[in-house]
């Protein structure tokens, strides 16, 4: 029996994508299908006075907020975002009205004129008093820390919006059937869409079915926004009684869908002469955009990573995410942590400069080690590998030699050290209660999970884990489509949890199945005992305690550790830089979290 | 939002004669070929024109050859064809260098030299090359053929001497003496529109042309004269500032464009300095 994990297996989705038979949502078609279009606001803030239809309505299905059978909201954390704006506009490109027609050309020609009473827009997060969420992390006593410090170093660091630019833009098809609706789409989280549709359409769970079509990338951009598109397509489908396809082109996708939260992070750090950090005061401000979406959770992860992978006895992190009249920001790879980690490590560089100290030495001195505890009081295990990755990256890149050689030239070399908590924050995984199932088939097994393959290889990795645990060939493991009518809720495909958490559940399913099979082949077992499906639910590893109110405890079950080194060359003509060489050293620890 | 295409009219001439007749009798028509500019407007819903003349099939307008001592490039020759052409690489390497930096491979395979000229963007990558090479634009209508010096082609922002019934049929470039130089500065190394683009020739009388620093591509004639007269490069850099009129826009700022334009002039002058091992052909970009 050859191993599956750690072996270069053939991707489950590889052939279909290589030969072009993989079916993305825009490749699907249904009899009698209509095409849909979203009419959006062109002002950032104001009141809608009237909407004038400037086209012949024959053959059109038109939906506004009054057509919503359930509640006009995108069900997520706060209930503040309408699925279709009603009276008030809070950002440009906000959906106001939906049109569908069987002829796409007629659809594109339809003109709708919107009359507004505009209001002044709030576009600067620093001026916003509308706070979606505030977070405070405190450790030790800041005043004591600053009193002990020899030097105080301050800095402010900003990052802007960022677009995911998944290759396949967003899209959904809604099909009215069985007194409910089935949606097919490009998405990361089938059960997020499922829940949002039940609330919007006032339908029971068994009347809503969500099926993931082949998905061309997500990076977080298809975590929450697909709920809106699915809602729009479903409203049109239910009103017209026909399947409705709603596909965004690149322009619409860029203008309307979520971006990474812009940030302003201020650091005030007390430092000892020898480089030890005595006090860290960190202020984190995220621009949430017009509605709350996932902002509280993004802020949470941002704050939990705000110190960088460094130890300090006296820490205070104050974070807030606020409303502005810009399109809502949302999930994006790293989920708030890249912004604060960027600030933390640029700040370390500034501290090194002010101390006149080698930046590697400064990081070595302060890096979190096994047995150290984080700002939330989480004691790190033997897998805290900040020093290992730092030393590996420094030695592989020839960091010190190059740093000396490049001094005074137009070249430079720099590094950043960082960590990333894997899985949902704090008690998130406990609340999710994710489940995964494994079904015995005559030739092997079938994986039943709501995790989605969005190009990252989920089908392949899960099949590897199951094949390895069962001692079956990789080819004997099938992966069912992420279809809410057949798969259990394994939680969203986010937060680096798919391999670690859902993969862990599948491993437990496979271990139990192996025990049940004994010496029997799958075929023989089915003949003798009938069908076999094993389902496992998430259980937190022992010792993982988290308090959401005080922000104390184990924020994550496991952390990844990494160090990046980059060389840059300054071009005196443009004042720009290019980076001819980069190195990345990282650890990925096999999970113990499920 | 995407423009509906059913109300658009696209005429399909079979021959150049057909095309010219349609322009005369059925105008106004906007000629289209590679569509690399048209599709941008189409996808953003900002397309103004509604009537088009598809000249992509007119093979007479393709091809690169040398007639006498003049390099002739058909208007429908794509950027990719120019990059691959041995004739262009030998006689006008700065044009090959410019075409290599237009958009990305897909755009280079569809976009044409004639289209770049007709679109008339002040940021057009090939335009400073044609200005510095003192090229001629061949214009044809149903009635006549005329040749316009490239330096007299544009009359203002996206405006030219071309009449609505005329078509750009070819570009003619006399032999260029001296070392050729080209550099485009954009946001990225590829898939970007220039912030400043410069083409130049180092000869007894230098020729310097810049894009993205004025409503049209510009020749820096006072700068050229100063350099020809043996003036210091620093003085030329100062003169250049008076010859350009860059603005702040979505891609860059006036200040940055002035800074880069001056630096490009210096880099050109240093790279092409006639000492040591002079290399034939265009100087390699430094980035």
- Whether residues A413 and A442 share a domain: the answer is no
- Whether residues A284 and A379 share a domain: the answer is yes
The residue out of A256, A273, A304 marking a domain boundary is: A256
For domain B59-174, the CATH architecture is 2-Layer Sandwich (3.30)
CB count, 10 Å around CB of B187? 12
Which pLDDT value is given to residue A338?
A: 98
Question: CA-nearest residue of chain A to B286?
Answer: A571
B240 neighbors B220 (Cβ within 8 angstroms): yes
What total number of domains does chain A contain? 3
What's the pLDDT tens digit per position in B154-200?
999 999 999 999 999 999 999 999 999 999 999 988 889 999 999 99
Q: Which residue has the tokens 């599956």?
A: A4
CA A130 to chain centre: 24
Tell me what the pLDDT averaged over chain B comes to: 94
- Whether residues A276 and A137 share a domain: the answer is yes
**Per-position DSSP letters for A12-57, written without gaps between them:** TTHHHHHHT---BGGG---TTPEEEEEEE-SSSSEEEEEEEE-S--
- Whether residues A245 and A186 share a domain: the answer is yes
- Whether residues A445 and A503 share a domain: the answer is yes
3-state SS, residue A552: strand
Residues of B in contact with A573 (CB under 8 A): 183, 185, 260, 263-264, 266-267, 286
The residue out of A256, A288, A315 marking a domain boundary is: A256
Which pLDDT value is given to residue A588?
A: 59
Token pair of A508 as six digits? 């437990």
On whether any CB of chain B is under 8 Å from the CB of A573, the answer is yes
- Whether residues A383 and A405 share a domain: the answer is yes
Which of the two residues, B44 and A158, has the higher pLDDT score?
A158
Range of the domain at A413: 127-162+259-425+555-587
What's the pLDDT tens digit per position in B209-260?
999 999 999 999 999 999 999 999 999 999 999 999 999 999 999 999 999 9
d(CA B202, CA B176): 10
The residue out of A191, A226, A256 marking a domain boundary is: A256
A268 neighbors A187 (Cβ within 8 angstroms): no
Query: If contacts are CB pairs under 8 Å, which of residues 267-326 in chain A contact chain B?
Result: none
Which segments of chain A have a pLDDT < 70?
1-2, 588-594
Does B1 score more than 90 pLDDT? no
Taking the domains of chain B in order of start, what are their residue ranges?
9-54, 59-174, 179-271
Instruction: Say whether B4 and A250 touch across the interface (CB within 8 A).
Output: no
A390 neighbors A550 (Cβ within 8 angstroms): no
Which pLDDT value is given to residue A4?
A: 81
- Whether residues A455 and A526 share a domain: the answer is yes
d(CA A127, CA A142): 27
- Whether residues A139 and A174 share a domain: the answer is no
On whether any CB of chain A is under 8 Å from the CB of B287, the answer is yes
ipTM of this complex: 0.87
On whether any CB of chain A is under 8 Å from the CB of B3, the answer is yes
Quickly state the pLDDT bin for B282 (edges 50, 70, 90): low
Give chain B as a 3 state SS string: CCCCCCCCEEECCCCHHHHHHHHHHHCCCEEECCCCCHHHHHHHCCCCCCEEEECCCCHHHCCEEEECCEEEEECCCEHHHHHHCHHHHHHCHHHHHHHHCCCCHHHHHHCEHHHHHHHCCCCCCCHHHHHHCCCEEEEECCCCEEEEEHHHCEEECCEECCCCCCEEEEEEEECCCCEEEEEEEECCCCCCCEEEEEEEEECCCCEEEEECCCCCCEECHHHHHHHHCCCCHHHHHHHHHHHCCCCCCCCCCHHHHHHHHHHHHHHHHHHCCCCCCCCCCCCCCCC
- Whether residues A148 and A278 share a domain: the answer is yes
Which pLDDT value is given to residue B74?
A: 98
Q: Which residues pair with A270 in a beta bridge?
A: A152, A279
Instruction: Say whether B4 and A105 touch across the interface (CB within 8 A).
Output: yes
Min distance B74 CA to chain A CA atoms (Å) = 34
**ω into A506 cis (within 30 of 0):** no
Q: Which residue has the tokens 């006036």?
A: B254
The domain over range B179-271 is classified in CATH as 3.30.390.50: yes
On whether any CB of chain B is under 8 Å from the CB of A580, the answer is no
CA A317 to chain centre: 22
List the Cα angle A76/A81/A82 in 5-degree steps: 115
Residues of B in contact with A249 (CB under 8 A): 1-2, 43
Which pLDDT value is given to residue A540?
A: 86
Counted across chains A and B, CB pairs separated by less than 8 A come out at 42
Instruction: Say whether A251 and B1 touch across the interface (CB within 8 A).
Output: yes
We report the CATH number of the domain holding residue A479 as 3.30.365.10
Does B2 score more than 90 pLDDT? no
In a domain, A542, yes or no: no
Backbone angles phi, psi at B64, to 5 degrees: -130, 125
């Amino acid at each position: 029996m050859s191993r599956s994990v750690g072996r270069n297996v053939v991707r489950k989705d590889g052939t279909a994508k290589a030969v072009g038979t993989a079916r993305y949502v825009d490749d699907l078609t249904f009899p009698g299908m209509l095409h849909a279009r979203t009419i959006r606001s062109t002002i950032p803030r104001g009141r809608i006075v009237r909407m004038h239809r400037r086209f012949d309505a024959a053959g059109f299905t038109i939906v506004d907020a009054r057509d919503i059978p359930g509640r006009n909201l995108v069900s997520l954390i706060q209930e503040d975002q309408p699925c279709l704006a009603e009276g008030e506009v809070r950002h440009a490109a906000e959906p106001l009205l939906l049109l569908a027609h069987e002829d796409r050309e007629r659809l594109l020609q339809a003109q709708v004129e919107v009359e507004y009473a505009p209001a002044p827009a709030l576009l600067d997060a620093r001026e916003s008093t509308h706070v979606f969420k505030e977070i405070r992390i405190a450790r030790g006593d800041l005043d004591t820390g600053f009193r002990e410090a020899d030097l105080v170093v301050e800095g402010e660091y900003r990052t802007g919006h960022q677009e995911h630019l998944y290759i396949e833009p967003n899209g959904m098809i809604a099909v009215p059937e069985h007194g409910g609706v089935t949606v097919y789409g490009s998405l990361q989280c089938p059960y997020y869409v499922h829940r949002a549709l039940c609330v919007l359409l006032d339908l029971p769970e068994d009347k809503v079915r969500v099926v993931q079509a082949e998905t061309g990338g997500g990076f977080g951009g298809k975590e929450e926004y697909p709920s809106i598109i699915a809602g729009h397509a479903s409203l049109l489908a239910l009103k017209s009684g026909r399947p409705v396809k709603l596909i965004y082109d690149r322009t619409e996708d860029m203008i309307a869908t979520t971006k990474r939260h812009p940030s302003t992070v201020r650091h005030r750090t007390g430092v000892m002469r020898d480089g030890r950090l005595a006090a860290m005061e960190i202020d984190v401000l995220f621009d949430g955009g017009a509605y709350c979406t996932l902002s509280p959770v993004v802020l949470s992860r941002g704050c939990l990573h705000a110190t960088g992978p460094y130890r300090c006895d006296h820490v205070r992190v104050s974070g807030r995410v606020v409303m502005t009249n810009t399109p809502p920001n949302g999930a994006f790879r790293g989920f708030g942590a890249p912004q604060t980690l960027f600030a933390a490590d640029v700040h370390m560089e500034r501290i090194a400069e002010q101390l006149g100290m080698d930046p590697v030495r400064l990081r070595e001195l302060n890096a979190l080690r096994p047995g150290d505890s984080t700002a939330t009081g989480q004691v790190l295990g033997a897998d805290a590998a900040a020093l290992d990755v730092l030393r590996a990256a420094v030695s592989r890149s020839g960091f010190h030699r190059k740093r000396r050689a490049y001094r005074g030239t137009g070249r430079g070399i720099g590094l950043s050290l960082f960590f990333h908590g894997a899985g949902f924050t704090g008690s998130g995984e406990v609340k999710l209660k994710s489940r995964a199932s494994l079904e015995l088939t005559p030739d092997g097994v079938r994986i039943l999970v709501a995790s989605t393959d969005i190009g990252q290889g989920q089908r392949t990795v899960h099949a590897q884990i199951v094949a390895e645990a069962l001692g079956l060939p990789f080819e004997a493991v099938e992966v069912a489509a992420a279809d809410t009518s057949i798969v259990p809720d394994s939680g969203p495909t986010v937060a680096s949890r798919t391999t670690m958490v859902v993969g862990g559940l599948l491993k437990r399913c496979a271990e139990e199945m192996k025990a049940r099979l004994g010496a029997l082949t799958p075929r023989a077992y089915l003949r003798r005992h009938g069908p076999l499906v094993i389902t496992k639910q998430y259980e937190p590893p022992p010792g993982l305690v988290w308090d959401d109110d005080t922000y104390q405890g184990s924020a994550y079950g496991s952390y990844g550790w990494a160090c990046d080194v980059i060389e840059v060359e300054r071009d005196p003509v443009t004042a720009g830089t290019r980076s001819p060489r980069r190195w990345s050293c990282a650890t990925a620890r096999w999970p113990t979290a499920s | 939002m995407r423009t509906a295409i059913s109300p658009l009219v696209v005429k399909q001439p079979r021959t150049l004669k057909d095309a010219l007749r349609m322009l005369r009798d059925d105008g106004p028509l906007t000629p289209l070929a590679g569509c690399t500019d048209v599709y941008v407007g189409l996808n953003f819903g900002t397309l103004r024109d509604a009537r088009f003349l598809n000249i992509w099939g007119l093979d007479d307008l393709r091809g690169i050859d040398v007639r006498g001592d003049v390099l002739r490039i058909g208007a429908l020759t794509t950027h990719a064809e120019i990059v691959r052409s041995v004739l262009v690489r030998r006689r006008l390497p700065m044009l090959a260098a410019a075409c290599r930096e237009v958009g990305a491979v897909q755009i280079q395979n569809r976009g044409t030299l004639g289209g770049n000229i007709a679109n008339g963007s002040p940021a057009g990558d090939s335009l400073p090359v044609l200005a510095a090479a003192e090229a001629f634009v061949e214009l044809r209508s149903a009635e006549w053929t005329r040749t316009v010096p490239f330096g007299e082609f544009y009359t203002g922002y996206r405006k030219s001497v071309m009449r609505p019934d005329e078509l750009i049929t070819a570009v003619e470039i006399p032999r260029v003496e001296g070392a050729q130089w080209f550099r485009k500065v954009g946001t990225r190394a590829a898939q970007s529109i220039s912030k400043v683009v410069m083409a130049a020739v180092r000869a007894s009388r230098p020729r310097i042309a810049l894009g993205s620093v004025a409503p049209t591509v510009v020749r820096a004639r006072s700068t050229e004269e100063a350099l020809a007269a043996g003036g210091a490069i620093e003085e030329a850099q100062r003169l250049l500032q008076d010859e350009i009129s860059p603005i702040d826009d979505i891609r860059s700022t006036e200040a940055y464009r002035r800074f880069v334009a001056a630096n490009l002039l210096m880099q050109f002058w240093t790279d092409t300095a006639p000492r040591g091992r002079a290399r034939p052909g265009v100087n390699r970009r430094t980035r």
